Amino acid sequence: MADDLQRTLGKNLRAFRDAEDLSQEAFAEVLGVHRTYMGALERGERNVSLRSVEKIADRLKIEPLLLLSDNGRSG
């Protein structure tokens, strides 16, 4: 289950980044994280805290649950 959520988060982040036509590096800058961390998030390799999800969602100006939903941007 946790791996599924990590992959869903990654797919949704990638979809948001693609929608904004941003490089991974530029998107990481928008979110206030390092490029390598961004890559690991998109690949579903990082186990992020709920607080981190909230911070990312806040930067994207969306509800946090949208990042964890199969019906997010990747949907």
Q: What is the mean pLDDT of residues 50-64?
A: 96
Mean of the pLDDT values across residues 5-16? 95
**In terms of residue numbers, what domain contains 27?**
2-68
pLDDT digits (tens, 9 = 90+) for 19-53: 999 999 999 999 999 999 999 999 999 999 999 99
The contacts of residue 2 (CB under 8 Å, 6+ apart) are: 47
CATH number for the domain spanning 44: value is 1.10.260.40
Range in 7-11, 20-24, 28-32, 67-71 with the lowest mean pLDDT: 67-71
Confirm whether 46 is domain-assigned.
Answer: yes
Residue 73 lies in a domain: no
The answer as to whether 22 is a domain residue is yes
- What pLDDT, on a 0 to 100 scale, did the predictor assign at position 75? 45
Q: Is residue 75 part of a domain?
A: no
Total domain count for the chain?
Answer: 1
Q: What is the mean pLDDT of the chain?
A: 91
Is position 54 within any domain? Answer: yes
